[in-house]
A = this chain, B = another copy of it.
Amino acid sequence: MAARNIALVGIGKIALDQHVPAIAASPDWTLAATISRKGAVDGVPAYTDFAAFLAERPDVPVVSLCLPPVPRFAYAETALLQGRHVMLEKPPGATLAEVQELERLAAARGLTLYTTWHSRMAHAVQPARDWLTDKVIRRAHITWREDVRKWHPGQDWVFEPGGMGVFDPGINALSILTHILPQPVHLTGAELEFPANRQTPIAARLAFSGNVTADFDWRQTGPQTWDIEVETDRGVLALRMGGNVLEIDGQPAAGQASIMGEYPALYARMTELVQAGAREVDLAPMVHVADALTLGRRILTDPFDF
- With known contacts A293-B293, A294-B289, A297-B199, A95–B186 Cβ distance under 8 A: yes
Q: Which of A88-117 contact B (CB under 8 A)?
A: 94-98, 100-101, 104
In chain A, positions 201-245 with a C-beta closer than 8 Å to chain B are 209
Interface flags for A266-306 (1: CB within 8 Å of B; 0: not) read 00000000000000000010011111011111100000000
Chain B's closest residue to A284 (CB) is B97
Q: Tell me the nearest residue of chain B to A295, going by C-beta.
A: B162
Tell me the bound Cα distance from A187 to B101 in angstroms.
11
Q: How far is the CA of A98 from the CA of B296 in the complex (A)?
A: 15
The number of residues on chain A lying at the interface, defined by a beta carbon within 8 Å of a beta carbon of chain B, is 34
In the bound complex, do residue B186 and residue A73 qualify as a contact, i.e. CB atoms below 8 Å apart?
yes
Q: Within 8 Å CB of A162, what residues of B?
A: 294-295
A161 at the A/B interface (Cβ < 8 Å)?
yes
**Within the oligomer, what is the number of copies of this chain?**
2
Residue A248 interfacial (CB < 8 Å): no
Q: Which of A176-193 touch B at CB < 8 Å?
A: 184-187, 189-190
Q: Report whether B184 and A101 are in contact in the complex, using a CB–CB cutoff of 8 Å.
A: yes
Q: How far is the CB of A94 from chain B (nearest CB, A)?
A: 6
Indicate with 1 or 0, residue by residue over A115-149, a CB within 8 angstroms of chain B CB atoms. 00000000000000000000000000000000000
CA distance A295 to B161 in the complex (A): 5
State the Cβ distance, A75 to closest chain B Cβ, in Å: 14
- The 6 A-B pairs with the shortest beta carbon distances in the complex, nearest first, are A97-B186, A95-B291, A290-B290, A98-B186, A161-B297, A162-B295
Chain A interface residues (CB < 8 Å from chain B): 70, 73, 94-98, 100-101, 104, 161-162, 164, 184-187, 189-190, 194, 199, 209, 284, 287-291, 293-298
